């Protein structure tokens, strides 16, 4: 893990990248205003037939804490409100929310109804520290929270996207907050730095996950956290 004094950071921007072209997989394009963002979104979906993404899994750049919830089939939406309240018990800051309408998806060989919500917190942190600082959330909501989004070089589809890779999905709508509020890579320097709290938290024992570059396969939290192994991979 990078120490805080070695951390470099660009503030006030969203860090966009390419999810489709593997030879160009590590392109990083900063965008500083919403008009430029919307132009990139329109261009990507019309010319590449895939959604716009941001580069969240980089140790050298902090992000907002982000949480991707993907419950399936019959689901009580009041749990989303409960999740938001539980976030604030750990860190009482503004919470921003985006989400897609329910849709049918093939998952593990069967057709399911997938529900999606994305939560972002108005503070800043290194991506790999999110499951450490918010371990209580991962334990309580292990059946619906996607732990695969905290792997190196991870990318997330961004707000207002209507495609993943060569397929249409319901738009990732803004539920609470603006476009940049609902981008994990947009932070400001005056946001509280949660990395400073990590040394006071007991390190979990193991964390088993896989290196995924997109969101086409869900990777649910298994109750174990080991970032040394993950980062070595």
Residue (of 227, 191, 185) closest to 209 by Cα position = 227
Contact 73, 168 (CB under 8 A): no
Q: List the beta strands (DSSP E) in 18-131.
A: 29-31, 53-55, 66-69, 95-107, 110-121
pLDDT one-digit tens code per residue, 57-79: 999 999 999 999 998 888 888 99
Calpha distance 66→120 (Å, rounded): 5
Contact 17, 54 (CB under 8 A): yes
Give the domain ranges of the chain: 4-232
Average pLDDT, the chain: 84
Residue (of 146, 120, 126) closest to 66 by Cα position = 120
Calpha distance 170→178 (Å, rounded): 18
pLDDT one-digit tens code per residue, 30-55: 999 999 999 999 998 988 888 999 99
Q: What is the mean pLDDT of residues 171-193?
A: 98
pLDDT one-digit tens code per residue, 133-149: 999 999 999 999 999 99
Q: What is the pLDDT of residue 6?
A: 38
Q: What is the pLDDT of residue 137?
A: 96
DSSP state of 196: G
């Amino acid at each position: 893990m990078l120490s805080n004094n070695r951390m470099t950071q660009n503030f006030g921007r969203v860090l966009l990248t390419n999810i489709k072209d593997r030879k160009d997989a590590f392109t990083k394009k900063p965008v500083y205003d919403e008009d430029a963002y919307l132009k990139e979104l329109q261009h990507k979906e019309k010319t590449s037939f895939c959604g716009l993404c941001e580069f969240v899994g980089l140790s050298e750049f902090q992000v907002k804490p982000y949480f991707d919830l993907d419950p399936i089939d019959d689901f009580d939406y009041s749990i989303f409100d409960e999740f938001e309240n539980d976030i604030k018990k750990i860190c009482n800051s503004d919470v921003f929310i985006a989400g897609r309408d329910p849709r049918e998806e093939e998952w593990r060989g069967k057709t399911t109804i997938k529900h999606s919500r994305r939560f972002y917190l108005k503070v800043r942190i290194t991506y790999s520290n999110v499951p450490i600082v918010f371990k209580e959330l991962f334990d309580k909501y292990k059946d619906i929270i996607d732990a695969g989004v905290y792997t190196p070089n991870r990318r997330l589809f961004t707000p207002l996207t209507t495609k993943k890779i060569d397929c249409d999905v319901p738009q990732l709508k803004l539920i609470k907050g603006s476009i940049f509020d609902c981008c994990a890579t947009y932070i400001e320097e005056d946001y509280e730095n949660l990395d400073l709290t990590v040394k006071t938290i007991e390190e979990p024992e193991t964390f088993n996950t896989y290196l995924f570059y997109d969101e086409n396969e869900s990777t649910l939290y298994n109750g174990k956290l080991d970032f040394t192994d993950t980062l070595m991979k």
